[in-house]
A = this chain, B = another copy of it.
Amino acid sequence: MAGRTHGVVAEPITFGFKVAGWVAELDRSIARLELAAQQAAIGRVSGAVGTHATVDPRVEEHVCRELGLEPDPVSTQVVARDRHAGYMSALAVVAGTLERIATEIRHLQRSEVGEAFEPFGKEQKGSSAMPHKRNPVMTERVCGLARVVRGHLVTALENTALWHERDISHSSAERIIFPDACAAVDYMCQEMVKVLSGLEVKPERMLANLQFAGGVVFSQRVLLALVESGMSREDAYVIVQKAAMRAMDGSGPGFRASLEQDQEVTKRIGSRINDVFDPWAGLEHTDLAYERLSLGVSAS
């Protein structure tokens, strides 16, 4: 399929390679959440200002052990709120990761792209007014909820600087933001599991889009082939850019066809033209991603 930068076709990739990027980011997010959860799983039973004035530290140790918490090495009336801010940060970064994947699917489901689709029930209606509609509503919802979690992080960070041995200003805020953010990210995960496990991938549309404007996605390969043939990079760039721009304008016969009509080009790389426009060329290193992620999956 076409890899895209700036929303513009760039060079070939595979869908599996794209997913590998998601896997790597999700792995990091899981690690982040686990660490943040561990840093927040802290208890204290240390009295009104944290000094254990009226409660033996062994009580704290016993209670925390029973609850599966670590005792805070030093507390005030509460466990310090940097831990909570750290946990909310992890939630917000995870929400951003889910948003990134969701945004990708929303793009792929665009009418003009059509390369992947959220699951859609046989009896489902995308719109009561427009029967043709099949909208990426789950991934849109996930994007919206990521914004909510980001907002909650602002709140959690502001809760850190409590006065002296504690003021209770954080409490009214935490009662809202922590259940809401945890529930939101949990729901986002569930939605994305549904989306990804039921994702309809359209290889034929991927291949068709890869040939956009007669194969401009191969422009770098053409450029390099011309340079290897001895042409200066400047000259080659002008030829390739002109053919590509005309092709994308719709005013020429398509990128590859246009080049094949250019004698200077065919003289130099005509015999290799199938290689230059081979979608699999340049993908030989993508297996590396799976190896590095220990996924044991091959792109081929």
Please list the residues of chain A having a beta carbon within 8 angstroms of any beta carbon in chain B: 2-13, 17-18, 20-21, 23-25, 28-29, 32, 35, 39, 47-54, 56-57, 72-77, 80-83, 85-86, 89-90, 92-93, 96-97, 99-100, 102-104, 106-107, 109-114, 125-127, 129-137, 140-141, 143-148, 150-155, 157-174, 176-177, 180, 184, 204-205, 209, 212-213, 216-217, 219-220, 223-224, 237, 240-241, 244-245, 247-248, 250, 255, 281-283, 285-286, 288-289, 292-293
CB pair A10–B49 under 8 Å, yes or no, is: yes
Residues of B within 8 A of A131 (CB): 219-220, 223, 237, 240-241, 244
CB pair B134–A21 under 8 Å, yes or no, is: no
Cα(A53)–Cα(B285), bound, Å = 7
Most buried by B among A137, A173, A205: A173
**Which listed residue, B102, B109, B127, B160, touches A48 by the CB 8 Å rule?**
B127
The 9 A-B pairs at the shortest CB distance, nearest first, are namely A53-B282, A132-B244, A3-B49, A151-B151, A96-B160, A6-B135, A73-B292, A52-B285, A89-B89
Cα(A158)–Cα(B148), bound, Å = 10
Residues of B within 8 A of A255 (CB): 132
Contacts A52-B285, A144-B159 known; A248 to B25 CB distance under 8 Å? no
**Which listed residue, B6, B54, B212, B224, touches A136 by the CB 8 Å rule?**
B6
CB pair B133–A32 under 8 Å, yes or no, is: no
Q: What does DSSP make chain A's interface, helix, strand, loop or mixed?
A: helix
Residues of B within 8 A of A164 (CB): 3-5, 7, 104, 107
Residues of B within 8 A of A2 (CB): 111
Residues of B within 8 A of A132 (CB): 9, 213, 216-217, 219, 240-241, 244-245, 247-248, 255
CB pair B24–A220 under 8 Å, yes or no, is: no
Residues of B within 8 A of A157 (CB): 92-93, 96, 150, 153
